[in-house]
Chains A and B, each alone.
Chain A
Amino acid sequence: DAGVIQSPRHEVTEMGQEVTLRCKPISGHNSLFWYRQTMMRGLELLIYFNNNVPIDDSGMPEDRFSAKMPNASFSTLKIQPSEPRDSAVYFCASSPGGGAGEKLFFGSGTQLSVL
């Protein structure tokens, strides 16, 4: 299995532009998570899905952020409009089911720089 695949690996954009991050979870996994990592705030859970349904989006910073999971093999995290403070590494992770304590499999992340 190729693991969790994120694209792009790096994204540089200008303030005000729309940014879309993509994630393909491991086949057969039912849960998908979006995390953001910064030096100041560490790893923060933004949102997670179970069976393509958003379960908890309390970590989404504001209305500029939105996430979708149209099917079991694809998810997007969109920022519109982007701001310099959105610069971070964004990780997608998946797990086989929705049970507590299951192992998360992380992608390699997308390094986002907003100028």
Chain B
Amino acid sequence: AQSVTQPDIHITVSEGASLELRCNYSYGATPYLFWYVQSPGQGLQLLLKYFSGDTLVQGIKGFEAEFKRSQSSFNLRKPSVHWSDAAEYFCAVVTGGGNKLTFGTGTQLKVEL
């Protein structure tokens, strides 16, 4: 079955440092992949998505992600983290007909000032 794995449960970075959050997918064909962010007490917000074409995808808030088929990965990156980026980040993949999404277990990001 199609799925995504986020190997890091918690990550702590210093403000201004670069960030990379890992996501690995399991899917036979080219998957539809997403990154969502959840701030405390809020619902999820879409950061970016990948369907096909250019493997480097730009999103909101200065985030980007790169699709690497050879590594079955879709890692999220940001060159310089801001304190307001502290949140939980979810990788997701379309796993069914229509728009059925399956989410990873999430990575909690802490930003040290």
Contacts and interface: CB of A to CB of B under 8 A. Distances in A.
Interface residue range, chain A: 20 to 34
Contact of A101 (B32, B36, B102, B105): B32
Interface stretch (A69-77, A79-87, A106-114): A106-114
Contact of A100 (B32, B36, B43, B106): B32
A109 B46 CA distance: 16
B99 A109 contact: no
A67 interface: no
A104 B101 contact: yes
Nearest to B95: A45
B94 interface: yes
B98 A99 contact: yes
A43 B42 CA distance: 14
Nearest to A50: B98
Contacts, number: 64
Interface of A: 4, 31, 33, 42-43, 45, 48, 50, 55-56, 91, 93, 95, 98-104, 106-109
Interface of B: 32, 34, 36, 41-46, 49, 51, 90, 94, 96-106
29 contacts: A31-B98, A31-B99, A42-B105, A42-B106, A43-B44, A43-B103, A45-B101, A45-B102, A48-B99, A50-B98, A55-B97, A56-B96, A56-B97, A93-B43, A99-B98, A100-B94, A100-B97, A101-B34, A101-B99, A103-B46, A103-B49, A104-B44, A104-B101, A106-B44, A106-B45, A108-B41, A108-B42, A109-B41, A109-B42
Which 3 interchain pairs have the tightest Cβ spacing? A106-B43, A101-B32, A43-B103
